[in-house]
Structure 1
């Protein structure tokens, strides 16, 4: 069950990868349209303003069509075969589902307590999806319908029908079954979802009312669940869904950035819900302190090697918000350090919130700069100065806490390895090639074996030992039939992996941002 939940969580990350660039485009456009910052050139009647308006509208594509993106994105990760066809099936079925909802509420809206005469948006509970006026199920509805379609696709896509029905095989057969399934699902949604919307409204009131305690719990869970892959379920409803604000924090913040910029009212009063998107601060200030502690505690003769290892992954975490390489480095060695990291991250975010810091800060410096500091510093500079002061203070706290624990408990962080772990490095593909070329015996098929995907399959025990393959942002997630056939972690590191998380038959191979390409090559080889 845990493997299935992890696989589903990683699937939700596929469309999320698109949000970083779109957010930057919207943030920069808002910045360059702000006449308080840019002067007369940014007045609405200028050519400059009109150009940036056009660019901004393009940036809004991802945020305005999030349900469609999730409907299409889920099958990319979950479909076990013919992912492209599964995407088409999911899109078709999701549109069918919304047409059913629209028709049901048009006919029986009074029975279900929904007034279809209201305008979409606001508190009506309605939305326009691909021109269809329907219930606003947001990404939750898209994920549900897409997941149902993927299940049907995996089960019936290869179903052989009689020859005279051959035209209905494959995607057509999946859509036919999905069409029949969508009618009862739409009826159930029309009955249940209005009650869910009421519950969501209550949840929003509770969480906002819980203040600092709610922020602490949210941030702690978002960090501590990263090793399980379940952290997606924590932040997605808040950041991209309707848990605390309609449309999610990312969309709401971007939509009201101009309003926040023009107001002298404290940000915490303007948008208290923004306290649930401060977890990115640990990626900047926390990781800095952790990296310094790992470097300082390394053996003297290994400090240069450790610095070469830490600098790129620390910069990646701080600038882009991709923290897996450094977090998993010490997670593999000592889960206690990761727990301490989660506790400190939650405490830092909470203290910032208490001091008035809110916003869209789930990523790294690029996101915080373009969507927070640059467009709002002129009107809320004191708030951000408090944020930076608190963040740097926690960098110091992180450093001393991690340094104390590493030395006190003699934790074998990079540069402190013992015995068989003497070599301090993350192996690359080039290292592997050099090693292979230095061996005396070279088989005829060695050049082909140097492909990372081929060797990854071999390290996992061969094709017959692999049950499922998927990925998230940086990890290749694999389910195997027999975990005893899987090679040691050193074999995966020799392929360029940063490490391996093992949980019985479920493995997570830390590849990096190139993991989607690795997964595709692995799947092609498994199908060949």
Structure 2
């Protein structure tokens, strides 16, 4: 029974820590998404055509610069996850862990490229998306999106945990300890990189099958496409499905201005250029389907997260949520909001996937005719409102209001009912009282005495802190002397299970934790 509890405790600690590591790249993503969205939108030819003053050369240079800088986080998001996960999870030698994450990610992609080259599977430059390939740091490789970074991050964490203090024979001692982590990482991830291309085509074949199903599904095609695209997003496989629908026969074939055109996006642009009536069967797979979710649903998620956060934490998360809402509402960049719940509640993610699919189907059934790719307010205005009422743009507002209500109600209920640790509700802050925030002790804390009351160095597995508490994982809870800890100045001791305990120190907890780490 004790062994089972220990395993359960380790899983609890791992997933709690994993969730925290995601916040580092997500916070950067929210800010960069704002810059990218504004920059790319205001340099778009369609936007300049509608608002000519934006074509000013000085403004264009500024917006282009914003777009370039903002694109950084999205271009390198997988490698950011590969570095942030081991950085956040390991207890010792964190710098080595992050360095190893970078090394492992690059080597994995180099190995993938080597395999594709040797087996003559490298796609032509203009066929990358259709083949499920892309460029990563100048390396042509399989397009795995964030999943690739997460795979590397977790593998590096496990390798670091096992080898960071390894002792090698004297002749190889220089390569021992922390130096061995990037070495073993390069070996293991190179093997992983050779194996992945053998597995990944199975997913590509499945996606091609989905494309054929969409083509033959009539009114349900947009639903399958919209939900499938969202479902595949975390795995980086959505590009294959999107490319099939936008540019191949799977997205339909029509004659436009005496030319046969295939692919939903190709048809829309051809009709727009020729001044021909816009086909609702083509726009069914384009911007309009995203609008209920992107412009209304995800902002409702942000509001639900804000309202369910502890009142004292709302100011802290407001900037993160506002920047995420602006990114999705203006340009359809959804990751800053989606990543806030994707890894916390897979059930809510499935709900989001289904609702996105229904958004596509609803817009199709109502015969709305708004094309393009982003699904934000700019597409709504430029390709909807400004094109006239024949696009039925007003129906987006009606459906959007319903989507906002449903998303907000479901997310707020789920967050409260299941106590989901969305931003502002984390365990590190949810139980902080005014008494804890104001608690102080006379003089300095006797850290060595506190360590003794915790059972000594050998009793500590993990040491962390929140705003007011030391958060510890210990080997033997019976060695914790609660009375002695209170004599040392602690306000209280909270035992969570057989191995997790919190010691309430007050606002000086960070200093106490740092001193404990030095001793340990």
- Alignment TM-score > 0.5, same fold: yes
Which residue is equivalent to 1:389? 401
Paired residues of 2:226 and 2:360 also in contact (CA < 8 A) = no
State the Cα distance separating 1:270 from its structure 2 match: 0.6
State the Cα distance separating 1:20 from its structure 2 match: 0.6
Equivalent of residue 42 in structure 2, options 32, 36, 50: 32
Residue 283 of structure 1 pairs with residue 301 of structure 2:
yes
Distance of aligned partners of 1:85 and 1:371 in 2 relative to their CA distance in 1, 3 Å threshold:
farther
Equivalent of residue 42 in structure 1, options 46, 50, 54: 54
Which residue is equivalent to 1:356? 363
Distance of aligned partners of 1:461 and 1:75 in 2 relative to their CA distance in 1, 3 Å threshold:
same
In structure 2, C-alpha distance between the alignment counterparts of 1:519 and 1:247, rounded to whole Å:
48
Residue 140 of structure 1 pairs with residue 139 of structure 2:
no
Equivalent of residue 285 in structure 2, options 266, 269, 273: 269
In structure 2, C-alpha distance between the alignment counterparts of 1:395 and 1:180, rounded to whole Å:
45
Which residue is equivalent to 2:421? none
In structure 2, C-alpha distance between the alignment counterparts of 1:28 and 1:312, rounded to whole Å:
24
In structure 1, C-alpha distance between the alignment counterparts of 2:117 and 2:350, rounded to whole Å:
50
Residue 108 of structure 1 pairs with residue 126 of structure 2:
no
Distance of aligned partners of 1:81 and 1:22 in 2 relative to their CA distance in 1, 3 Å threshold:
same
Alignment gaps of 5+ in structure 1? 219-233, 295-305, 323-337, 358-369, 407-424, 437-441
State how many pairs are aligned: 409
Paired residues of 2:34 and 2:324 also in contact (CA < 8 A) = no
State the Cα distance separating 1:282 from its structure 2 match: 3.5
The SS at the match of 1:467 is strand
Residue 58 of structure 1 pairs with residue 58 of structure 2:
no
Greater mean deviation of Cα atoms: 52-61 or 24-33: 24-33
1:423-473 residue CA offsets vs partner (Å, 9 max, x unmatched) = xx988687546454xxxxx54325x89xxxx99x9999997665346899x
Which residue is equivalent to 2:381? 377
Equivalent of residue 180 in structure 1, options 176, 180, 187: 187
The SS at the match of 2:363 is coil
In structure 2, C-alpha distance between the alignment counterparts of 1:527 and 1:238, rounded to whole Å:
45
Paired residues of 1:287 and 1:314 also in contact (CA < 8 A) = no
State the Cα distance separating 1:151 from its structure 2 match: 1.8
1:343-398 residue CA offsets vs partner (Å, 9 max, x unmatched) = 998998777555439xxxxxxxxxxxx98235643544535522553256559978
Paired residues of 1:282 and 1:345 also in contact (CA < 8 A) = no
Residue 69 of structure 1 pairs with residue 87 of structure 2:
no
In structure 2, C-alpha distance between the alignment counterparts of 1:192 and 1:395, rounded to whole Å:
36
Which residue is equivalent to 1:361? none
In structure 2, C-alpha distance between the alignment counterparts of 1:143 and 1:387, rounded to whole Å:
35
Paired residues of 1:75 and 1:147 also in contact (CA < 8 A) = yes
Greater mean deviation of Cα atoms: 124-133 or 169-178: 169-178
Greater mean deviation of Cα atoms: 171-180 or 371-380: 371-380
In structure 2, C-alpha distance between the alignment counterparts of 1:59 and 1:149, rounded to whole Å:
28
Paired residues of 1:92 and 1:175 also in contact (CA < 8 A) = yes
State the Cα distance separating 1:76 from its structure 2 match: 1.4
Largest Rg, 1 or 2 = 2
State the Cα distance separating 1:150 from its structure 2 match: 2.3
1:242-299 residue CA offsets vs partner (Å, 9 max, x unmatched) = 24345999xx9xxx9xx99x977777531447777675244256568x77xx9xxxxx
In structure 1, C-alpha distance between the alignment counterparts of 2:515 and 2:214, rounded to whole Å:
46
1:47-78 residue CA offsets vs partner (Å, 9 max, x unmatched) = 32233112211111111122322222221122
Greater mean deviation of Cα atoms: 114-123 or 192-201: 114-123
1:208-263 residue CA offsets vs partner (Å, 9 max, x unmatched) = 97679879999xxxxxxxxxxxxxxx98x6545424345999xx9xxx9xx99x97
**What is the alpha-carbon root mean square deviation over aligned residues?**
5.9
Paired residues of 2:25 and 2:81 also in contact (CA < 8 A) = yes
Distance of aligned partners of 1:214 and 1:468 in 2 relative to their CA distance in 1, 3 Å threshold:
farther
How is 1:511-522 mapped onto 2 (pairs within 5 angstroms)? Answer: 522=513
